[in-house]
Amino acid sequence: MSRLEKQQQLFAHLQQAFADKLQLANEEDMVTADVAAENLLSVCRVLHRDPQFKFEQLTDLCGVDYLDYGKAEWRTFETTESGFSRGVESTKEPVTTWDKPRYGVVYHLLSLTHNQRLRLRVFLPPEPIVPSVIDIWNAANWYEREAYDFYGIIFDGHPDLRRLLTDYGFVGHPFRKDFPLIGEVELRYDAAQQRCVYEPVSIQPRVLVPKVIREDHRYAVENPAGEPHE
């Protein structure tokens, strides 16, 4: 059976088993299923235990912040042909319309028995809380801690939900789109106190939009007499 046929078969089984609990899409790489947070655990238990699914392995779990998703400050689709124009022709028009909640959790599941993959998505409100799946897939432990650390997503039922990669005194969640690029505080060693201290961040904000320099002969404008304009 080809990969495409397996995807179609999985799509049909999911439709039959979960009816209105999932919103399904048969995407190019794998089947994607959107599920409400209140149905997550019941759906995951079936996906894990039911012989027709047997998703024994959680290969990945990550948080997503969809703040301003689909909006672009620059025109980028014509970049290769228009060159520098994207730096001066700004647009505020959205590339695509986003009508789902701001936060999401994405689960990638693997069935070793059936050699199939599934993407499961949960969309969450501004105060994101979702049930922990650690009792179903133990591999979710550090994945959920990472998503909590970086996005502030609460995994209800996790036995040890604390920061994983940032420092103990870190303020905020650095992968949220509204988190400042320069951070909130900085850490330094104070020789007088012989300890590390936190202080308000002192570095200047960085501008990530590259500058377009046009002050050279290539962009000189000729005057009516044909002389280059200084």
The answer to the question of residue 174 being in a domain is no
Domain, as residue range, for 35: 3-66+101-168
**Number of domains the chain is built from:** 1
19 φψ region: left (φ > 0), alpha (ψ -120 to 50), beta (else): left
Highest-scoring range by mean pLDDT, 113-127, 163-177, 213-227: 113-127
For the entire predicted model, the pTM comes to: 0.76
Q: State the chain's mean pLDDT as an integer.
A: 83
The enclosing domain of 40 has a CATH number of 3.30.460.80
pLDDT score for 223: 54
The answer to the question of residue 48 being in a domain is yes
Report percent pLDDT > 70 for the chain. Answer: 78
Residue 207 has pLDDT above 80, yes or no: no
The answer to the question of residue 9 being in a domain is yes
Averaged pLDDT, 224-228: 54
Residue 47 has pLDDT above 50, yes or no: yes
The answer to the question of residue 161 being in a domain is yes
Query: Out of 25-34, 195-204, 219-228, which region has the weakest mean confidence (pLDDT)?
Result: 219-228
The answer to the question of residue 27 being in a domain is yes
The answer to the question of residue 203 being in a domain is no
Residue 214 has pLDDT above 60, yes or no: no
The answer to the question of residue 93 being in a domain is no
The answer to the question of residue 55 being in a domain is yes
